[in-house]
Amino acid sequence: MQQGGDGAPVQHLLSSCYCPLAAVELALCEAAKQGHTEGARLLLAAGAAPCAQPAGVGKSALHAAAEAGHEAVARLLVHADPQAIHARSEALGGRTSLQVARDADLAGLARRVEEYARRECEKGAPEG
């Protein structure tokens, strides 16, 4: 699957066998790391949580996307759970995905994703 990617192989796998949630969340981290937006979308639809930190990885899919500079995947993950930007990775010294992006000299990405998360939270907030 190329970056952005064709999700057909992931869709086939998810529809043809039982995939434990731990495996789906591990696959989401890998899709995020590689920048595969369509694969990430399918894995989110299969129940993977954007802020889950699979054993052996120690960081969330959002951390992986931010660290690798994959803004489209990061936005997709934030759309699924805007609060995911607050998740801290113990494997990365308790840092959030936005801090990880800034550490990787991707401050622009961090600002845009943070703004996107703010707008997503406002959309979901009850009017009062």
CATH of 8-124, one of 1.10.3720.10, 1.10.260.40, 1.25.40.20, 1.25.10.10: 1.25.40.20
Q: Residue 89 phi/psi, 5° resolution? A: -100, 120
Q: Where are the domains of the chain?
A: 8-124
Question: In the prediction, which pLDDT does 17 show?
Answer: 63
Question: In the prediction, which pLDDT does 92 show?
Answer: 92
Average pLDDT taken over every residue of the chain: 87
Q: Which of 69, 6, 58 is nearest to 32 (CA)?
A: 69
CA distance 111 to 120: 14
* Low-confidence residues of the chain: pLDDT under 70: 1-17, 125-128
- Strand, helix or coil for residue 89: strand
Q: Where are the beta strands (DSSP E) in 1-128?
A: 88-89, 95-96
Kindly state the tokens that stand for 85. 């930007």
CA distance 113 to 122: 14
